[in-house]
Structure 1
């Protein structure tokens, strides 16, 4: 049996769900961890990391974080902007450490795009940022997991560069992979081929090759096929990523995910 822990990406950034409610509901539903989104209403300066850690400990649930990305430019060709963005990510990693988070999901992306900027202008800065933040994360006990992005650097098709030029782990997002042309068999092959570098997975279901985040099992991806390598001895963490404020859909997504993983975990909801 694989050593897989399951959790969910919180939807706290809008303020519709508080971090307290997310942690409490995640525990009630029997998740192993909550992946706290550190942006918007729960960006780092709006969090009390000690209080977050205390509640997670009291609820018996682990923590991961999703680092901010909407206004962050760690790969900007402009030195001042990228350096400030990297410092902000480091501050988030330090906050994650205080909260007791074990992993941090990173978007290695930039809004510097053609025609003003080429891939060649941006990619070296992104790779440098990954190396810098990965090293910083190691120093603070937080594993940096770089996520494949849909249609922009770094897509799943570009990850050979990250694997060869950095030591960072990967967050594999199923919906993003579909946007870039992967079907269930392709996803399974990628997970199997790179099982030693993939530490975290986002189960992002959709009704087509889009970044949709519908409740797990309500889309069209065959997760029985896609997640076969996960059932075959892989050890890591898997988050359902569902865009809903209704925890009933999260409960259903967990039951579906447990089935795809061959797990028989008890529900405590």
Structure 2
């Protein structure tokens, strides 16, 4: 589906945006959430979706176009993404999933880990691949969730948020948010407790007023390395004027939200392609 990642591009020195929050006080229990239930729901999602790390991505990228079931023709619906490349790291900085990096920190500029828009896309003028505020991220959710989610971002000390968006000629809109926390444990806890993963997320997006469930068109193998975990959801029929698909990627200290919407219904192939490629950049 994609070409292999080349780890050759030079990493630019990132700007240092102001830290947005303070650390969650030691011993403080997360607000208004059932922790064990949330963790159980994430486990259910991992079993249904298949927790995905580099295994699925490398399996797909290592196959020729004609070898991927259902993806053998030029009209299979995949988008033409630029070649992927991982930014080089500052000297002495380890990759996130190595023995010398117990907190699974991504030392690369978060903006460099955002997936680029595919060929033919029209860029979202508000989501250009740079830093965005927590208020921008929170605006993706139904209004009733926003105040609590904003407080959670403060409590869990989200450090930086980067985002990119675009619209394709067929009307599909895509938005990707990357949230960086102080450690992998903090990012996972935020996902488990505040977002909620399982057969459906606890928080509803503003573009999904209908019922949301596991994306049953997604197929993946459970990886041996456990580097990242994915939960993919789709808005069930009957939906309104447009349908939305969403995915969460928990990869070390970074949590990704991917949203795709399209009038008349979203397409599985480009959505899954986008998720796989973004996961590669974070793994």
So what's the TM-score if we normalise by structure 2? 0.27
Q: Which has the higher contact order (CA 8 A, sep 6+)?
A: 2
Task: Considering fraction of residues, name the structure with more strand.
Answer: 2
So what's the TM-score if we normalise by structure 1? 0.28
Task: Considering fraction of residues, name the structure with more helix.
Answer: 1
